[in-house]
Structure 1
Amino acid sequence: MNVAQVPLVDYLRLGEGEPHLVVHECQGCGARYFDRRNACARCTGDAFERAPVAREGVVVSFSIVSVAPPGLEVPFVAVMVDCGGTLVKGNLRGTAPEIDNVRLGLPVRLTTYSLGVDPTGAEGVGFAFVPADAGERDV
């Protein structure tokens, strides 16, 4: 039985080669947005094309989150990753959420993980980052 995979966000692409993120890129100035825009905030241009985001990057900011709304497991590491010039917010998985395991400049790569399967058989899929040297295990 094939399970239909449903990405958590519309900018996560599954089933098109390796899972990856896409942005709306302004054709006038190259500014990139994850959400759809009617006009570019940088140059006011209105022509956009979809563009892939690099799957690898480096951590440029992080926070170890220890207090969260009910239902979210804490602690976890929230990161801002520079993926070839595109900043991506996400979580760091595949390493313990401790200050000794995270640093600015840490090389990371995109990964996906299952959020569960609903009664119709559709699997929700989220994305996160893992240290670049992490194995290909389920994170």
Structure 2
Amino acid sequence: MAEDGGGGPSGALPDMVAQGYYRYGLLVATHPKKVIFLAFTSFLILCTPLWHLPLPGYLPQEYVTSLFNYSVPPPAPEGGIRLDPSPTPTPLWYQGPPRAYILQIVVKSGVVPWQEGLTISDSYRGPLSSVFHLAQTISNYHLHHK
């Protein structure tokens, strides 16, 4: 089925791949500054979400409001962040009424002392039981205090 001289189907895909790499090499060789600029720009755009990634040296930011004389901070202008100085130093993310409340609970537990008869599944089943109990307590509180 494959013909040797006529450019038959046997060599079509490898020839197309080689031609593609050849054209790419020509493009890079003729426009090196544009290709480097494009690569650098795409790198910056694709790494933008990583700029806000919490790194090990960062500490969580905590802002506490008082229960008495509390007022909701004024909302930010349309499509932006309010940068004017406020009478109390508030963080940039605390503008306007809250849109959501996030509750994070960290449970650290372990199986101590480890006994001979325990299996690997017991090592995570025991600590998970405390998590399920905590989740049930929170959901019961939410149902009773609506």
Pairwise same-fold verdict (TM > 0.5): no
Greater RCO, CA 8 A, separation 6+: 1
Q: Which has the larger radius of gyration?
A: 2
Structure with the higher fraction of residues in helix conformation? 2
The TM-score by the shorter chain falls in which range? under 0.3
